[in-house]
Structure 1
Amino acid sequence: MKCLPVFTVLAVASIFGACSPGPGNSNAGAPAVNTAETAIVPIASPSPLATENVAGETAPTPASARVIGLAGLGDLRIGEPAPKGGTWGERGAQTGDACRTVTSPDYPGAYAIVADGKVQRITVGQRSDVKLAEGLGVGATEKDVKKWFAGFREEPHKYEDAPAKYLTAPNAANGSSALRFEIGHDGKVKLIHVGTMPVLGYVEGCA
């Protein structure tokens, strides 16, 4: 029988000694842990937005930007010129020195009326997913509108029979930015307008 060199025996003993639980180790006697399993750390999957960005696609407009308010929609602000270098521009819509309409590919179904060089009204139409902060959008019922907005002035619709109508916020009369709904004959919102009078009350674009 061959004897191992002393230094080899000591090296093996030191290795096993280091791996053995000491007398103060609370895990002594516990079942062995499969280190191959514990070494696997799950990696979170990237969000859909991150995936789109990595693929080089244009990120969608943030949800918060798809909310219209009395101040405007996105970078389009009531009472201010249309932003230069932005996506809002004339695309086969009404144009003229006194009044023109502008649209943006970022907001399909919406358009704005620019009069005297400033945005006077923004309209959310049938193909738009833009909503008010209250969650109301095109397709909401008149009942839903009145639940959130009481005291709006009612006027008969110019082109449709009742119950079609216009519902206009009372503060429109004082010249401040106001809200106006167009209700169709089915009792649902067809259009949402935000802006200042008299442009807020136009029924045919710039007229």
Structure 2
Amino acid sequence: MKQIASLTAIAFLALAACSSGKQEPAPSASASDDAAVEAIPPEVGTETASESATTATPTAAADVLGLEGLGALKIGQPVPKGGTWAERGAQTGDACRTVSSPDYPGVYAIVENGKVQRITVGGTSKVKLAEGVGIGATEKDVKGWFGGFREEPHKYEAAPAKYLTAPNARPGESALRFEIGQDRRVSLIHVGQMPALGYVEGCA
């Protein structure tokens, strides 16, 4: 009986030791677990930072001049109705008119036969081409982006002032023309169709 009691006591002590032992803490998340969490795509309907940046670009795009035009003002099309483009100041005649917009300081457009033929960017305008070329850019910058442009002496300024005109400048096709000042920097940018693209005094 003593032997049985002794065995019982030993078993009781072993059981007590097991039950009173400290529990191991739960394993912490590893670096691979963190990576897995980060890899989970966002829920449908949530907006990521890159998507947020994309949705903020339309305003910036409105200040980009392209061969097709500037914003709602399109080469070869009538001046858009209900917008801010309108005739301002004295006009030289009925055949050729100029329009401008308070939304685009330093920019005006030539309208002939009811359609936009040229858009001119000058002054302190922030409007630029998609390549980043704007007023004040160097002649070197222009030639770096637009090689093969035809050079002509400037009508009102001495050399090195000049005109740089795209080789595809012709009636019915939109093209680029730069005016380079004596400081070898862009003073005016024109986009439009010949002959209006080549006018040196607004409508003339």
TM-score, structure 1 length as denominator? 0.70
**Match of 2:159?**
162
CA contact (8 A) 1:72 1:194 kept: yes
CA shift, 1:26, in A, is: 3.4
Equivalences for residues 9-48 of structure 1 within 5 A: 26=26
**Match of 1:46?**
none
Q: Which runs of 4+ in 1 moved over 3 A?
A: 23-27
* SS class of match (1:171): coil
CA shift, 1:66, in A, is: 0.2
CA contact (8 A) 1:70 1:194 kept: yes
Superposed CA deviations along residues 79-103 of structure 1, whole A, max 9, x for unmatched, are 0000011000011142532110000
- In 1, Cα distance between equivalents of 2:25 and 2:95: 86
**Match of 2:109?**
112
Q: Could you say which structure has the larger radius of gyration?
A: 2
- In 2, Cα distance between equivalents of 1:173 and 1:79: 13
**Match of 2:188?**
191
- In 1, Cα distance between equivalents of 2:106 and 2:181: 17
Equivalent of 2:140 in 116, 125, 143: 143
**Share of identical aligned residues, percent?**
76
CA shift, 1:127, in A, is: 1.7
1:183/1:96 CA distance change after superposition, 3 Å: same
Equivalent of 2:83 in 79, 83, 86: 86
5+ residue gaps, structure 1: 1-22, 28-60
Superposed CA deviations along residues 7-61 of structure 1, whole A, max 9, x for unmatched, are xxxxxxxxxxxxxxxx79839xxxxxxxxxxxxxxxxxxxxxxxxxxxxxxxxx8
* SS class of match (2:67): coil
Aligned residues: 155
Equivalent of 1:173 in 170, 175, 180: 170
CA shift, 1:175, in A, is: 3.5
> Aligned-residue CA RMSD in angstroms?
2.1
**Match of 1:126?**
123
5+ residue gaps, structure 2: 1-22, 28-57
* SS class of match (2:84): coil
Letter in 2 for 1:73: L
Superposed CA deviations along residues 105-128 of structure 1, whole A, max 9, x for unmatched, are 110000000011000000001120
**Match of 1:99?**
96
- In 2, Cα distance between equivalents of 1:184 and 1:137: 13
CA contact (8 A) 2:171 2:193 kept: no
CA contact (8 A) 1:165 1:182 kept: yes
Letter in 2 for 1:155: E
